[in-house]
Structure formats: C-alpha cells, structure tokens
Structure 1
Amino acid sequence: MHGNSEVLVIDDHLKRRQQLELLLEFVGEPCKLVDSANVGEVLTSQVAWRSVLVGQVDAGGQAGLVKQLASEYKAQPFLLIGEGDESLSLLPNVIGAVLEPFSHGQMTQMLHQCQDYHLKAPAATKPTNQHQEILFRSLIGRSSSIQQVRQLIQQVAGTDANVLVLGDSGTGKEVVARNIHYLSARRKGPFVPVNCGAIPAELLESELFGHEKGAFTGAISARKGRFEMAQGGTLFLDEIGDMPLNMQVKLLRVLQERCFERVGGTTSITADVRVVAATHRNLEGMIEQGDFREDLFYRLNVFPIEMPSLKERSEDVPLLMQELIERLGADHKAGVRLTELALESLMKHDWPGNVRELANLVERLVILFPNGMVDVNDLPQKYRHLEAPSYEHEYDESLLEQEMLNEVFQTEVYVPPENTVSTQLPPEGVNLKEMMTELEIDMIRQALDTTDWVVSRAADLLGMRRTTLVEKMRKYSLSKDTA
C-alpha cells in the first residue's frame, strides 16, 4: 500500500469513534480519529489514506461533507458509516458503507475493496509530489505493465529488501534501481552502479571489496571498493548473470553476513548497503546449467521486478517520444515533431533495442530535422511500417526561390558564347573549357524545359542538389523568361 497506511475516521459522535477504533485495532488496521472540524488538518492531496470513513457530522450532515471531500480528493476511497444518502453511491470513489452493528468481517471486506481502488485508480488521480514526478518520468506510460512496475517500485522502496530487476537490454533496469534508491530512506546516501560484465574477472573482487596496499602487484596504495563507497546507500549490480562463480560465492557471504574484508586485509567491514541487482539473462536456466548459484539467486530474488520490452507496451511509444524530445530539446536547443502517421509507424516497430533504441532514434531525428516536422517517409527505412504517399508540389517552385533567382540575376554573370556544341574535332582544334561550358548549359536548359522549369525536379534529373542548380542558373543567366 502506498502513501499513508492508516484508516482515517471522521465522526462527530465520540462513542461511535471509540467503537470503530476498537474494531480497527482488532482487525490490525492502524487508524486516526478526528471530528469534522479538524478534517482539513489531516486530509490533503499529498497523502493517500487507506480509507476514509465518514459517519455522523453535525454541521452540514454526512452527505454534504462526503460530496465535498469525494469531489476534491478523487484518488481517495471513502466509506460511509451507516446507509447514508443513496445519491452518494453514485460517486466513483465512494466504495460502500459499513453498517451497524459493526463486524470485523464486514470491515475487512470493505477495506480490501478500498485497497483495490488504490491499485486500479488512474495514475493522473493518484497523490504524488514533484520528486516522484521527476523520477518516474523515465518510466512514463499508460500500459498496465509499466503501471505495475511503478507500483512495485513504490511498494519495495521503503524496505531494505534485495531487489532483482529482470528484462531485456535497454528496457531501463538501472532507471528502476535509481527510483528505488531515491524513494527510499537511503536517498541521502550514495547510489553506486557496477557493471559486473564490464569488469575483468580477476579485477572484480578488488572492484567490489577494495584492497590493501601490497595485496597484489600494482596495489601501491589501499583502495576502497564499491561496497564501502555505497555505505548508507544502494549498490546496483548490473548484469549479475555475468559474474564469475567464484565471485558469486563471495557475494553470497556478504549478503548473508553483512560484512566483508578487503583483498589482502583481515579487518571485517560492516556492509550497510541495500543491494539491487539486474540482468537480461535467464538465471533459472543458468542454475540448471551450473552457471549460477541457486542460493545466491534466492538471496537476490527477494523482490523481483520484471521490466516489459517496448514491443510489449507499444501504446507507450508516443508518450516516451514526447518525453525524450523534451529532454533532448533542453540539451540541443532544438526539438522535433512527428506526424500521426509517423507515430503509428513507430508503434508497429519491434524495438529490439527497447527504450535505448528509441532514445537513439529521437536524437538522430532532432539532428536531421531541428524544430521540423517528421513524416513516415522521413524516418529511417527500417522504421517505415506504413505507406505514406510522397507529397508533390503543384507549383513552379516557391515564391521564395523565385525571389532568390531574381536577386542573384542582378549580379554580374557569365555570358556564354552563342555557338552550339559540336561533337567533331575541327582541324584547327577547340577550346575544351568553352565547349564543356556550352554542353553544361545545354543539359541544364533541357532539364528545365523537360520539368517545366521546376528547379527541384530538374536538379534530380541532373543528379545535383537544387541549391547547386540555382547557382549554375545564376552563373549562366538562365531563367524562364529568357528561355
């Protein structure tokens, strides 16, 4: 249960408050009792109570208070004490009523329904704070799978339980680990990541536990390991499946005894560290093959969180695109927009690289089309899963291009000779440079005539860029008016 795990009881009838307190204590539910005059001190948008029970209210009556509170705190489930006004049952967050005489069976059933309401409530209605919004923005999405991940993070963050994050490469396993750390009581401590697959096996022990001076060749001074660096915080062991078997034994001892020694040392150091591990490998399959210790697996797998692949939550692609574009916009001072067809095409992609692949694509598009609009045909070929017709301009170039031509023609230009190109070498020889110039002019004029002087199409026929063709037209004083 996220937020406040207590039940809030609002009732101006002292005896009934006392009865409900005894009942809630009996079923193991902590509670807080207030009268209607003090509701504003305990009920806020920043706290999610397990449930709010509303009974007899002297001023305004039960119905008036419930309607006011239920409309203001839509994420909060309410229970009525007594049958209450029938109109209150129409409010979506009024779960039901606790009838007198009170019974523990009825109470536990209604509180369970309130718990279900918390779990299924839309994310937009749930109480949150700015800190959580910043952290969870890398895990945004409306799909049920990513919502479940966010819920699991909130549930485990407040504990010191070991967490194992599973999922394909690029799904954001380290993002999950960072969220667990910063939502925990260890948030003021360090977050220390270690990629177990990127460190040579012979150096991994020293990297994790540190070493004393002279422990091995090259150890010219004592050095702290990652466990010491993470004291009071969280140690993130990425790609734990790549850890050698001999190191798995030593890690298991640290997890069991909560202490370790540096390489070459004899002093025992207490490990006040919360461990979050991650892997893209199938550890249970590795156990069967003898590549991963079963006892270490169960030590790490206290609270597993499985990250879904991007293919499994394709409906989240537009939201992730928007988030990544905004983030890159702050770095590159430029953004990009995508047409609806482009987004639909991206939602059909398999995303073997998951969110990391999506982030790379967004950065490429921002570089290629800064502050521009991207359609399906602008996407790299492998991301085009929809057919979109190419748009043909039905005009003789833009007014801007015509103005450019008019402007450049005002400058002094080269005047070509009037004689035509000959393919026969005369006895007296030729001026090859002038001959090639005449040939170039003739080809440009033919391309322009063929395309009705649409410069971009003529440039395609000539195999050159439009800007290059415009420059040559300026140089040779070619325009539609002089054709």
Structure 2
Amino acid sequence: MDIRVLVVDDELSMRQFLAILLEREGYLVDQAESAEAALALLASQNYDLVFSDVKMPGLDGIALLEEIKKDSPDTAVLMMTAFSTAEQAVEAMKLGAYDYIAKPFKVEEIKVLVRNALEKRDLKRENKRLRQEVQERYSFSGLIGKSKAMRDIYSLIEKVAPSMANVLILGESGTGKELVARAIHYNSQRKDKPFVAVNCGAIPESLMESELFGHKRGAFTGAINDRPGLFEQAEGGTLFLDEIGEVPLQLQSKLLRVLQEREFRRVGGTDARRADVRIVAASNRNLEEQVKEGTFREDLFYRLNVVQVQMPPLRERSEDIPALVEHFYKKFVSPPHDGQIITASALKLLMSYRFPGNVRELENLVERCVVLGSREITEDVLPFQIKRDCTEIVREICGAHEIPADGLDIEAYLNAIEKRILLQALEMNGGVKKKAAEFLRLTFRSFRYRLAKFGMDDE
C-alpha cells in the first residue's frame, strides 16, 4: 500500500530536499509552500504523514497541526524549525505532533523518524480497529436470540450497563454468562478500561487471595517479587468473578470488605489501595441454597445481587436455535457458502434435543460438523447421542400407541401425557416442586403454571 507524505515549508530548497529524500525511500510526496496550501491539499487527499515547518508566513505550523488533528487525528505530524524553543516543542507534542526536530538535521535521522512515526500510526489504527471489533462482538449484536427471554435480557443489560451497580448472573454452564458480563462492560462508560475475567473455581484455595488482591515480596514462600492482583489489573474497568460460589468462606469476608469499603490490601502488605472496579459475578450454583447451608455469606450475596440476570437454558428458548446455528456456522466456515446451512429434519432434531451443555454444546456441535467437512448440516452428521435422546424421549412418553380407527382428541391426549409427567416428576422428587421443576428443566414459575392448569397447585 502506497504511503503518502505532505511536506509543508515556505523554503523551496527545504521542500525539494525532503521530497527527494522521501521519494528515494519509496513514499509518494506532495509539496505545499504554506499552511493554507497544505489545508487545500488535505481537503482533497488523505496523507499518512505531514512534515511541517513551524514558522511560515500567514498561518503557522502550530495552527496547521491543530487543524490536521481536528480533521484527521490518525495522520502522523512531524514539526521542524530552525528556531527551536522548549515551549514550542511542549506545545506541539501536547497538540498531537509525533516529534519536534530542529534544523539542520541528518538524513538518517529523518529516515528513522519517518519509519517510527508511521509504525506508531499503524499501531494506533490497529488498536482502534481491535477495540471496535471487541465492542461489536460484545455489544447486543454479540448476543444471539429473539426469544422473549433473550429480549428481556437485552432490555436489562441496556438499563444496568451505564450504572455502577453490582450484577449477579445466574444460570447453568454454557448459557453465556460471561458473554452477558462482557456486554454489560462494553456498553458501559468503562468500555475503554480493562475487562478482567477469572474463574474462581479454577484457582487453588491457597492462591485465591493472592490472585485477587496481589502480594508483597516475601509474603509467602515463592513470593519473590511484588505482584498486582486482579483488582489492580481491572482498575477503572470491570472484574468478572465467574463461579463466585466456589470462593471459600474466609475469603468471602475479605471480598465483602472490598465491596463495602472500596479498598483492599495486598497479601503481606499494610497499605490500603483504592478499588475503582465494577463487580460482575456469576454462578451455576443455587447461591440462595448455599446461604441456607452456611457455605456462602448472606451479606455478600446481597451485596453482589443488586441486579440479577437469570440466563435461560437453551431448552427453554429452542426458538433461538436456528439463529444460533447460522451464527456459529458463519463463525467456523470462511467464506460461508450461499446455500442451505441445515436441513429441516436436522433442525427439528436439534430443537427437540435437551442440550445439557446449552449454547456452548450447540457451538461445539456446529464446529464438529464443519470440521468433518459438511457444507450442510444433515441428520447423518449429527452425533448419535442427539438422535438417540430425541428418539428415546418420544418412545418413553408416547409409547407405541397408534391412532384409533375412529380418531383421536389430540389436546386431551397430550394433556393426559403432560399431567402424568408432572405427577411422576413430583413423586420422584419427594413432592418438592422446586426439585421437580429442575428435574423437568422448567423454571419454577412455568412448573407451577402447568400444575395449576390441572388443578394440582395447592399454594
């Protein structure tokens, strides 16, 4: 790709010298004898680098620098002058100049400065592109699904993201809890600060305090240097504590103090450090049950549970499966073909499957189909487990009944099957409705609604 350079100087000899030098290096060079002429060229052409003298008749180089940075902030600008002062140099650097050099200068010095300026500009552009890519990935467009459950979650994220409120995300493994946490962060005012994620269940108990809060040199065997913890790494941003239910009781009290006081101490340290961090926590456990059992602090639970996001399992939003399949297919097939992605029979099987691994399991399934070379997902390429489970569910519930010769009241038949399943689930779980609901992969509210339909909900 061609690199375009603009040289601005009222001295013809200096313009020609720099133009010849830069053209020999392979750059495309334009010249302007004044800041006004330079602005006219900049209005019709994009430049990667501008060389500008400071002292020129009319508009000076500092004013030109301001105009360039206003309209084209990614353009690198090198200022040059025969009358260098420290004040001018500081002013130029504050306004965004890459460097400020005094005449006369050496040829090699110019070559190095140009290369470095262009490299820095490329790095800034790449960082900007990556930030934009990350924000797009974890904005609402990164969450797939149009079911009511997902629309409610989008609405909740939109409301809670701009605040500083702690958020607790609950749901089974694979439902996308971290994706929601990232969406909250990247739709907040902290989006340009770090998002730090940690799986509390993956850290040994003996190291967890040091991981979270850092440690001082000599605090324990192996602590050979001072080390910042995750709270310091997430300064100004968001700390995502996944599987918060795995944090031991002793550390829960210290975590509670950080949430209350907004300060912490490194292990082995005495200095209190401020914690400008937003906390988003998640768990696939029932934290309220843990509170009752005494394995999770009640006060910490309420501190974390300012806003709760309940992630629905995939089996409760099967209408989102077609969109998810298409999303994952495009992710793994490059470039994606224009034909059909999945057959109707294969999609029907997926929408009947229970997906114990939720969205993560579906993603892995689509990747498996692509790796096996399938341009179209058919029944033949689906794992045996899915076909077997779907067949067994139908066989277990419906048996081998045939439609009677005189016809069938399908509503009454299906209601009878549903009622029998509800009763069996209650019986198998000792009459405890909450357990029976979980057993049938239903929310408690949905389970009670179904019981009430048959006059079986006595509460």
TM-score range relative to shorter protein: 0.5 to 0.7
Q: Contact 1:335 / 1:366 at 8 angstroms: preserved in 2?
A: no
Q: Return the match for 1:175 from 179, 184, 202.
A: 179
SS of the aligned residue for 2:139 comes to helix
Residue 378 of structure 1 and its aligned partner are, at CA, apart by 2.7
TM-score, length of structure 2 as denominator length: 0.54
Instruction: Give matches, 1:150-229, under 5 Å.
Output: 150-229=154-233
Residue 193 of structure 1 and its aligned partner are, at CA, apart by 0.5
For 1:283-305, what per-residue CA distance to the aligned partner results, in whole angstroms no more than 9, with x for missing partners? 11001110000000000000000
CA distance in 2, matches of 1:314, 1:210: 43
CA distance in 1, matches of 2:188, 2:225: 34
CA distance in 1, matches of 2:275, 2:136: 28
Opposite residue 386 of structure 2, the aligned amino acid is Y
Instruction: Give matches, 1:73-152, under 5 Å.
Output: 135-152=139-156
Determine the structure 2 residue equivalent to 1:381: 384
Residue 132 of structure 1 and its aligned partner are, at CA, apart by 5.7
Residue 138 of structure 1 and its aligned partner are, at CA, apart by 3.6
For 1:118-173, what per-residue CA distance to the aligned partner results, in whole angstroms no more than 9, with x for missing partners? xxxxxxxxxxxx95676223421111001111111111000000000000000000
Q: For structure 2, which runs of at least 5 residues remain unmatched after alignment?
A: 1-133, 393-459
Determine the structure 2 residue equivalent to 1:350: 354
Residue 331 of structure 1 and its aligned partner are, at CA, apart by 8.9
Determine the structure 2 residue equivalent to 1:262: 266
CA distance in 1, matches of 2:224, 2:248: 26
Determine the structure 2 residue equivalent to 1:273: 277
Opposite residue 379 of structure 1, the aligned amino acid is L
Q: 1:131 to 1:253 in 2, by over 3 A?
A: closer
For 1:440-472, what per-residue CA distance to the aligned partner results, in whole angstroms no more than 9, with x for missing partners? xxxxxxxxxxxxxxxxxxxxxxxxxxxxxxxxx
CA distance in 1, matches of 2:202, 2:161: 27
CA distance in 1, matches of 2:170, 2:273: 30
Determine the structure 1 residue equivalent to 2:287: 283
Determine the structure 1 residue equivalent to 2:365: 361
Q: Contact 2:171 / 2:283 at 8 angstroms: preserved in 1?
A: yes
For 1:264-322, what per-residue CA distance to the aligned partner results, in whole angstroms no more than 9, with x for missing partners? 00111000000000000001100111000000000000000000000000010000000
Residue 374 of structure 1 and its aligned partner are, at CA, apart by 2.6
Instruction: Give matches, 1:231-380, under 5 Å.
Output: 231-330=235-334, 337-370=341-374, 372-380=375-383
Residue 363 of structure 1 and its aligned partner are, at CA, apart by 0.6
SS of the aligned residue for 1:189 comes to coil
Residue 323 of structure 1 and its aligned partner are, at CA, apart by 0.4
Q: For structure 1, which runs of at least 5 residues remain unmatched after alignment?
A: 1-129, 388-483
CA distance in 1, matches of 2:313, 2:269: 43
Q: Contact 1:329 / 1:335 at 8 angstroms: preserved in 2?
A: no
CA distance in 2, matches of 1:178, 1:297: 21
Q: Contact 1:237 / 1:277 at 8 angstroms: preserved in 2?
A: yes
SS of the aligned residue for 2:203 comes to coil
CA distance in 1, matches of 2:194, 2:340: 36
Opposite residue 282 of structure 2, the aligned amino acid is A
Opposite residue 293 of structure 2, the aligned amino acid is Q
CA distance in 2, matches of 1:352, 1:334: 31
Residue 386 of structure 1 and its aligned partner are, at CA, apart by 6.8
Q: 1:134 to 1:199 in 2, by over 3 A?
A: closer
CA distance in 1, matches of 2:243, 2:174: 12
CA distance in 2, matches of 1:158, 1:142: 23
SS of the aligned residue for 2:360 comes to helix
SS of the aligned residue for 2:201 comes to coil
CA distance in 2, matches of 1:269, 1:337: 53
Q: State the identity %.
A: 56
- Structure with greater Cα Rg: 1
Q: Contact 1:190 / 1:233 at 8 angstroms: preserved in 2?
A: yes
